[in-house]
C-alpha cells in the first residue's frame, strides 16, 4: 500500500481524494432529501386520496415542500461539481 | 476526462460557449445570451399577439395559449398563496413564469439543446429582483418596524426561544432566500443538461463500437428528454410559486 502511494504523483493522489470526496459528499447529501421528498409526496397522495376536492391546494403545498426539501440535495450537487478535479 | 475508454468532456466545456459577436466588450453575445434574447422575444410576442383587440370573444390559437397560462398562474399560484389582493402581481408573475419556461425548454429543443438557466447570471438576477420586491411589499404593507418585527419575531413562539429563532429567521429570510431560489433553478438545469449529455455520449460511443447495445442508453435518453420537459416546466412553476409565497408572506403576516 505504502509503496503504491509512493509511486503516484502527489497531484494525482489529491485528484483521486477529491473525486472520492465529491462522490461521497453528493451521495450523503442525497440521502436525507430522498427520504424527505418521499415523506412529503406520500402524505400528499394519501391526503389527496382522502379528500379529492382539496387536491389543488395539496398539490401546490406539496410542490412547495418538495422545493424546500430538494434545496439540500441541490447544494450537495453544487459542491460535487465544485470538488470535481 | 476518460472513464472506461469513454471520452467525457470536462464540465466547463458543456457550459462555456465562445463569443459570437462583440468580443471583448461588456455586451459580448454568445449562445446563452441569444437564448435569453429569444426567450424574451417569445414572451413578448406571445402576449403581444394574444392582447391584440379582435372581434370574436372565443379565444383561438395564440390567444388561447396565453389565456390558459394566465388562468393557470391565477388559479394555482396567486389564489393559493397570496389571495385575491395579489392580483396586481399577476403581470410580473406570469411574464416571469413564461420567460423562465422558454429559457428552460431550450434544453430539449433539437439543435439548441442548452438550458440557458444553467448559467448563474439570470437566475441570481431574477432572485435579487424578487428579494427587492418582497422586501418593498413588506415595508409598504406593514411599515418598516412592523415588517422587521413580524419577520424576525414570528408570533406564537415562547419568549426564550427568540434567542435561537431570531438569528435563524434573519439569515433565512434576508440572506438565504434569494440564493436558494437561484440555486434551485440553476442546479436543476445543470443536472438535467449533464444527464442528457451523459446518455447522448454513451449512446454515440456504443454506436461506434457495436450497434445493438446502443439502443439501451438511447431509450434512456428519450425517457430523460421527456423527464426534462417536465422538470423545466416544474422549475419555472416552483420559481413563480415561491416568489408568490414570499410576496404573500410579507403582505399578510402570520397572526
Task: Cell 429543443: give the residue.
Answer: B109
Alpha-carbon gap, residue B141 to B250, rounded angstroms: 8
Q: Give ipTM to 2 decimals.
A: 0.71
Task: Check CB contact under 8 Å for A81 and B11.
Answer: yes
Confirm if B130 and B202 have CB atoms less than 8 A apart: no
Please tell me if residue A77 touches chain B, with a CB cutoff of 8 Å: yes
Interface test with A, best of B81, B179, B182, B187 (most A CBs within 10 A): B187
pLDDT, residue B222, reads: 93
Q: Which of A49-53, B2-6, B73-77 has the lowest mean pLDDT?
A: B2-6
Among candidate residues B100, B92, B91, the one with its CA nearest the CA of residue B42 = B100
pLDDT of B211 higher than 80: no
Residue A46: CB partners within 8 Å, gap ≥ 6? none
Which of A74, A77, A79 best tests the B interface by mutation, with the highest count of B CBs <10 A?
A: A74
Which residue in A64, A67, A77 has the most chain B C-beta atoms within 10 A of its own C-beta, making it the best mutation to test that interface?
A: A67
Mean pLDDT of B158-162: 87
What's residue B102's pLDDT? 95
Tell me: pLDDT of B4 over 60.
Answer: no
Cβ-based interface (< 8 Å): residues of B facing A: 11, 75-77, 80-81, 180, 183-184, 187-188, 190-191, 234, 237-238, 241-242, 245
pLDDT at B3 over 70: no
Q: What is the mean pLDDT of residues B89-95?
A: 94
Chain A residues inside the 8 Å CB shell of B3: none
Side-chain half-sphere exposure of A69, counting CA atoms within 13 A: 18
Nearest to A67 among B11, B190, B242 (CB): B242
Percent of chain B with pLDDT over 70: 96
* Neighbour count for residue B5 (Cβ, 10 Å): 7
CB of A19 within 8 Å of a chain B CB? The answer is no
Across the interface, of B183, B190, B241, the residue whose CB is closest to A60 is: B241
Q: What integer pLDDT is reported at residue B138 of this predicted model?
A: 93
B174 has pLDDT over 60: yes
> What mean pLDDT is predicted for residues B126-149?
93
Residue B117's H or E segment, with its range, is: none
Average pLDDT over residues B196-220: 85
- Report the Cα B242 to chain-centroid distance in Å: 10
Contact between B115 and B107 under an 8 Å Cβ cutoff? The reply is yes
What is the rounded CA–CA span in Å between residue B177 and residue B183?
Answer: 10
Provide the pLDDT for residue B152.
Answer: 87
Indicate the residue of A60, A74, A78 with minimum beta-carbon distance to B80. Answer: A60
Enter the C-alpha cell of residue B59: 379565444
Q: Which residue has the higher pLDDT, B3 or A74?
A: A74
User: Residue B240: closest CA among chain A residues belongs to which residue?
Assistant: A64
Q: What is the pLDDT of residues A28-65, one digit of tens each?
A: 999 999 999 999 999 999 999 999 998 888 888 898 88
A63, A81, A84: residue with CB nearest B241? A63
The pTM assigned to this predicted structure is 0.86
pLDDT digits (tens, 9 = 90+) for B32-52: 999 999 999 999 999 988 888
Amino acid at each position: 500500500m505504502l509503496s503504491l502511494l509512493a509511486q503516484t504523483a502527489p497531484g494525482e493522489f489529491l485528484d483521486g481524494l477529491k473525486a472520492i470526496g465529491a462522490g461521497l459528499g453528493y451521495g450523503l447529501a442525497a440521502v436525507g432529501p430522498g427520504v424527505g421528498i418521499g415523506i412529503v409526496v406520500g402524505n400528499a397522495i394519501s391526503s389527496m386520496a382522502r379528500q379529492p376536492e382539496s387536491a389543488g391546494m395539496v398539490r401546490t403545498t406539496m410542490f412547495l415542500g418538495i422545493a424546500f426539501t430538494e434545496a439540500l440535495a441541490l447544494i450537495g450537487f453544487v459542491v460535487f461539481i465544485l470538488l470535481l478535479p | 476526462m476518460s472513464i472506461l475508454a469513454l471520452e467525457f468532456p470536462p464540465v466547463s466545456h458543456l457550459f462555456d460557449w465562445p463569443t459570437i459577436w462583440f468580443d471583448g466588450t461588456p455586451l459580448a453575445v454568445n449562445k446563452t445570451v441569444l437564448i435569453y434574447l429569444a426567450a424574451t422575444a417569445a414572451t413578448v410576442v406571445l402576449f403581444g399577439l394574444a392582447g391584440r383587440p379582435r372581434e370574436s370573444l372565443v379565444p383561438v390559437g395564440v390567444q388561447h395559449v396565453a389565456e390558459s397560462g394566465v388562468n393557470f398562474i391565477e388559479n394555482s399560484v396567486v389564489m393559493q398563496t397570496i389571495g385575491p389582493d395579489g392580483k396586481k402581481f399577476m403581470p410580473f408573475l406570469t411574464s416571469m413564469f413564461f420567460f423562465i419556461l422558454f429559457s428552460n425548454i431550450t434544453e430539449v429543443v433539437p439543435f439548441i439543446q442548452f438550458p440557458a438557466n444553467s448559467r448563474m447570471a439570470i437566475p441570481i438576477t431574477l432572485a435579487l429582483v424578487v428579494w427587492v420586491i418582497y422586501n418593498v411589499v413588506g415595508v409598504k404593507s406593514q411599515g418598516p418596524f412592523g415588517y422587521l418585527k413580524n419577520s424576525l419575531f414570528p408570533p406564537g413562539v415562547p419568549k426564550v426561544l427568540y434567542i435561537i429563532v431570531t438569528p435563524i429567521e434573519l439569515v433565512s429570510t434576508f440572506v438565504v432566500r434569494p440564493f436558494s431560489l437561484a440555486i434551485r433553478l440553476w442546479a436543476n438545469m445543470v443536472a438535467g443538461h449533464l444527464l442528457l449529455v451523459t446518455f447522448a455520449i454513451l449512446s454515440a460511443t456504443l454506436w461506434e463500437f457495436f450497434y445493438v447495445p446502443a439502443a439501451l442508453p438511447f431509450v434512456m435518453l428519450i425517457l430523460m428528454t421527456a423527464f426534462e420537459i417536465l422538470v423545466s416546466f416544474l422549475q419555472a412553476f416552483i420559481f413563480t410559486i415561491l416568489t408568490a409565497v414570499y410576496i404573500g408572506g410579507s403582505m399578510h403576516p402570520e397572526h
